[in-house]
Chains A and B, each alone.
Chain A
Amino acid sequence: MRAKYVLAEVMVGLWRNVTMTIAMIMTMAVSLSLLGASLLMFWQVQDMKDYFNYKVEVSIFLEKATEEQRNDLQQKLKTDPLVKTADYESKEQAYRKFKEQFKDAPELVNATQMDALPESFRVKLNDPTKVDEIRNKYNGQPGVGQIIDQRQLLDKIFSILGSLQKLALIIAIVQGVAALLLVGNTIQVAAYSKRREVSIMRLVGASNWFIQAPFVMEAAFAGIIGAFLAYIVLVLARWLLLDGALKPLMNATIITPIPWENIHLMLPLLAVVAGVINAVVGWITLRFYIKV
C-alpha cells in the first residue's frame, strides 16, 4: 500500500509538470550519454594501449650497410635482453610488401625501384615501454639509418582520443550541472504545487520520510529514465558510427572495437549514478523548502 501510494504520487508529480519533466530528462540523457561515451572512450584507450603495446614494433632501417655490419647488428639484436624477436626484412621483401600495400596505385609501384626501399630489422620488444632505450642503443651504429617506432604514430592517435574523451567529459559535466539545476527546480515546483498536502501532512504528523519520499523518488525516477535514454543513444552510436562510418578504421585495427558488454554495462552504471545523484539533489532541495 505504501509503495502504491508513493508510486502514484511520483507519477502525478511528474505529469503535473510535464514540460519541465521532459526538459529535465532530455538534459539528463544528453549529459549521461556523454558521460557514458567518455567512460567508454577511456576504457577503450586503455584497451588500445595494451593492444598496441603488445604489438608494437620498432623498425631499424639500414643505410648502406655492408653484409658484415648487417650480420653484426643481427647478432647484437638477437642477444639483446630487451629484444624479443628481430626479423630481417630484405629489400625484396620490403618491395613485395610495398606492392601489396599500394596495389591500387600501380603507377606508384611502377615508379618505385626495388633499391629505393631500405632493408630493415623488425624488432619486437620484451617490454614495449623501453622503446627509447633501444633507440639510444642502436642509433648511430654503423650501417643504421632511421629508427622508427609505431608508438610515435599511436601516441598521436591516443592523444586525439584522449582529448575527445576529455571534451566529452567536460560537456557531460556542464550538461550534468544544468540537469541537476533542472532537477532542483522541478522538485521546487512539485513541492510548491503540493504545498497544501504537505502542510496538512505535517499537521497530522506524517513522518518526514513519508512527506519527502514521493519527491525524492520523482527525481530518482527521472534520472533512471534519463539513463535509459542515454543507453539507447550509446547503442545507436556504436551501431551507426562504429559498425557504420568508422568500420574501415576498425578493420585496419587502428581502432579496436568497443565490446557490447561495455555498452550494456553502461545501463546499470548510469542508472545508479543518475538515480542516486538525483535523489540526493532532490532531497537537499526539499530540506530548503519543506521544514518540519
Chain B
Amino acid sequence: MIRLEHVTKTYPKASRPSIEDATVSIEKGEFVFFIGPTGSGKSTIVKLMLREITPTKGKVYVNGKDITSMHSWKVANFRRSIGCVFQDFRLLPNRTAFENVAFALEVIGKTKSVARRVVPEVLELVGLGGKEHRFPHELSGGEQQRVAVARAFVNRPLILLADEPTGNLDPDTSIEIMRLLDRINRTGTTIVMVTHDSNIVNQMRRRVIEVDGGRIVRDQARGVYG
C-alpha cells in the first residue's frame, strides 16, 4: 500500500537530512503510528506520502504508484485517494459542518446532489448527526476534528493520514477520536498516524514506528510508546 525505499530528504539550506535512508512498508488495512520527539522527521514522512515534498534520494510508492516521479498535474488526482487530518483541523470558518465536508466533494467536481446524499451519511458516521448546520466556532474541538475526519473520509480514500490529530484535544476527547479512527480502520482503510501522545499509543497496541534524528530506530507490531 505504502512503501518508502531508502528515502532521504534534505531540505534546502538544512545542514543535515530530516529523514535519512528510511525504508518502511505498510500493508493495506494496517494502523500504523509514527512516534518520536519534535523535529525527529515524522511529519516529513507524512509530507512525503502526500507528495507535498519529493525525496532527495530514494523512492516512495503509494497505491502501487511511484509518486516521486509522478507528473505534477497527476498529483491532484493522486491526493483524492488519500484523506488527511491535522492537529489544527483546517476547517473553513465561514462554512457549516455540512458545507466543509461538501467542499471536498465540490472542488473535485462532484455534483450538489451527490453531496446531499453522501455528506449526511458520513457526518452520521463520525457522530455528528444533527449538527450539520453548525459553524466550526459553534462546535467543540473534538467535534471540529470529527468534521475534519468526515471530510477526509467522505471520498472513501484507501489511506488516511493523520498528523497529530489529537494534539489539540484533551485526553477524553482524544480517545473518542481514536475510536473513530479505529472504526474507519475496520472498514479496510489504511491509517497512518503521527503522534507523540504516549497514552494513545499504549492503549491502541498497534504497529509503532519510532523515528529519531531522521532515522527509523524501531518498528514493532503491537508496540508501546516508551
Taking Cβ atoms with an 8 Å cutoff, the residues of A that contact B are 1-2, 5, 196-197, 199-208, 210-211, 292
Per-residue CB contact flags for chain B residues 101-113 toward chain A (1 = under 8 Å, else 0) read: 0011011110110
Task: Let me know if A202 and B79 touch, CB within 8 A.
Answer: yes
Per-residue CB contact flags for chain B residues 149-176 toward chain A (1 = under 8 Å, else 0) read: 0010001000000000000000000000
Binds A, one of B58-66, B68-76, B183-191: B68-76
Task: Let me know if A5 and B106 touch, CB within 8 A.
Answer: yes
Task: Let me know if B90 and A205 touch, CB within 8 A.
Answer: no
Partner of A1, one of B92, B108, B112: B112
Closest 8 CB pairs of A and B: A205-B79, A205-B80, A206-B107, A204-B104, A207-B76, A201-B107, A205-B76, A292-B72
**B48, chain A: closest CB distance, angstroms:** 15
Task: Let me know if B111 and A203 touch, CB within 8 A.
Answer: no
What residue in chain A is nearest B106 (Cβ atoms)?
A: A5
* Alpha-carbon separation in the docked complex, A2 to B110 (Å): 10
Instruction: Judge if B15 is at the interface, Cβ distance under 8 Å.
Output: no
What residue in chain A is nearest B72 (Cβ atoms)?
A: A292
Task: Let me know if A205 and B106 touch, CB within 8 A.
Answer: no
* Alpha-carbon separation in the docked complex, A197 to B107 (Å): 10
- The answer to whether A197 and B72 touch (CB under 8 A), given A205-B108, A206-B107, A206-B108, is no
**B119, chain A: closest CB distance, angstroms:** 13
Instruction: Judge if B77 is at the interface, Cβ distance under 8 Å.
Output: yes
* Alpha-carbon separation in the docked complex, A174 to B120 (Å): 55
Best-buried of B76, B77, B106 by chain A (most CB within 10 Å): B76
A1: chain B residues within 8 A (beta carbon): 111-112
**B187, chain A: closest CB distance, angstroms:** 19
- The answer to whether A208 and B90 touch (CB under 8 A), given A200-B103, A203-B84, is no
Partner of A197, one of B73, B84, B92: B92
Partner of B76, one of A2, A199, A200, A208: A208
* Alpha-carbon separation in the docked complex, A199 to B82 (Å): 15
Instruction: Judge if B135 is at the interface, Cβ distance under 8 Å.
Output: no
* Alpha-carbon separation in the docked complex, A13 to B93 (Å): 17
- 30 residue pairs A–B, Cβ–Cβ below 8 Å: A1-B112, A2-B109, A5-B106, A197-B103, A199-B90, A200-B92, A200-B103, A202-B76, A202-B79, A203-B79, A203-B84, A203-B90, A204-B79, A204-B80, A204-B84, A204-B103, A204-B107, A204-B108, A204-B151, A204-B155, A205-B77, A205-B79, A205-B108, A206-B108, A208-B72, A208-B73, A208-B76, A210-B107, A210-B108, A292-B72
Per-residue CB contact flags for chain B residues 84-96 toward chain A (1 = under 8 Å, else 0) read: 1000001011000
A210: chain B residues within 8 A (beta carbon): 107-109
Best-buried of A197, A205, A207 by chain B (most CB within 10 Å): A205
A2: chain B residues within 8 A (beta carbon): 109
What residue in chain B is nearest A211 (Cβ atoms)?
A: B107
A202: chain B residues within 8 A (beta carbon): 76, 79
**A240, chain B: closest CB distance, angstroms:** 47
Partner of B78, one of A200, A205, A208: A205
* Alpha-carbon separation in the docked complex, A168 to B25 (Å): 67
B107: chain A residues within 8 A (beta carbon): 201, 204, 206, 210-211
* Alpha-carbon separation in the docked complex, A246 to B84 (Å): 69
**B19, chain A: closest CB distance, angstroms:** 20
**B113, chain A: closest CB distance, angstroms:** 10
* Alpha-carbon separation in the docked complex, A203 to B104 (Å): 9
* Alpha-carbon separation in the docked complex, A206 to B103 (Å): 10
**A215, chain B: closest CB distance, angstroms:** 14
* Alpha-carbon separation in the docked complex, A269 to B202 (Å): 69
Best-buried of A196, A204, A208 by chain B (most CB within 10 Å): A204
Partner of A196, one of B76, B90, B151: B90
Best-buried of A5, A196, A292 by chain B (most CB within 10 Å): A292
* Alpha-carbon separation in the docked complex, A196 to B103 (Å): 12
Task: Let me know if B73 and A196 touch, CB within 8 A.
Answer: no
**B26, chain A: closest CB distance, angstroms:** 20
User: Which B97-147 residues sit within 8 Å CB-CB of chain A?
Assistant: 103-104, 106-109, 111-112
* Alpha-carbon separation in the docked complex, A202 to B151 (Å): 13
**A115, chain B: closest CB distance, angstroms:** 88
Task: Let me know if A196 and B80 touch, CB within 8 A.
Answer: no
What residue in chain B is nearest A203 (Cβ atoms)?
A: B84
* Alpha-carbon separation in the docked complex, A200 to B91 (Å): 8
